[in-house]
Amino acid sequence: MDLIQSAIDGGHRMLLFSQFTSMLEILQKRLDQEKISYYTITGATAKQKRLELVKDFNDGDTPVFLISLKAGGVGLNLTGADVVVHYDPWWNVAAQNQATDRAHRIGQTKKVTVFKLIVRNSIEEKILELQEAKRDLADQIISGETGQLAGMTRDDLLELLE
């Protein structure tokens, strides 16, 4: 809530993604308590309603758009936002990146800031570490550099695949 309020106070508008619709419901209650207006899209939101919400968000001044991660990865153009928050990480970093890209579309005129909320010493922290290791490994393979790859043991490689 501090991050949301700080963004609003700074004149920003945000997309807040969670993989859990139950988490979005908790956030909705808090936003209602704080009298902060918002829109919500989940997998249960009809296609036509999604289009209306997206248009209203981009054309209006509602500061927060709560979106389930999977619903947010498909065909939404949300250039009205300049802050993206990933409330919880998803195993598939591509799904997170695709969700983030909702704010990085043709017509975006502002710098977009992305936050990933990670609890220290948690499964989320481990997920983030694995995502970073896999991304670094892929970058090394694509670029033809050995770097970290050359120093990895068989067990290190197997751990990345778990």
Asked whether the predicted pLDDT for residue 14 surpasses 60, the reply is: yes
CA–CA distance, 161 with 90 (Å, rounded to integer): 16
Query: What type of residue sits at position 58?
Result: N
Q: Write the pLDDT tens digit of every residue in 29-67.
A: 999 999 999 999 998 998 889 989 999 999 999 999 999
CA–CA distance, 93 with 138 (Å, rounded to integer): 13
Other beta carbons within 10 angstroms of residue 41's beta carbon come to 22
pLDDT of residue 107: 66
pLDDT of residue 34: 96
Residues 59, 98, 114: CA angle, nearest 5 degrees: 70
pTM of this structure: 0.77
Tell me what the pLDDT averaged over the chain comes to. Answer: 84
Lowest mean pLDDT among 55-64, 106-115, 120-129: 106-115
pLDDT of residue 101: 75
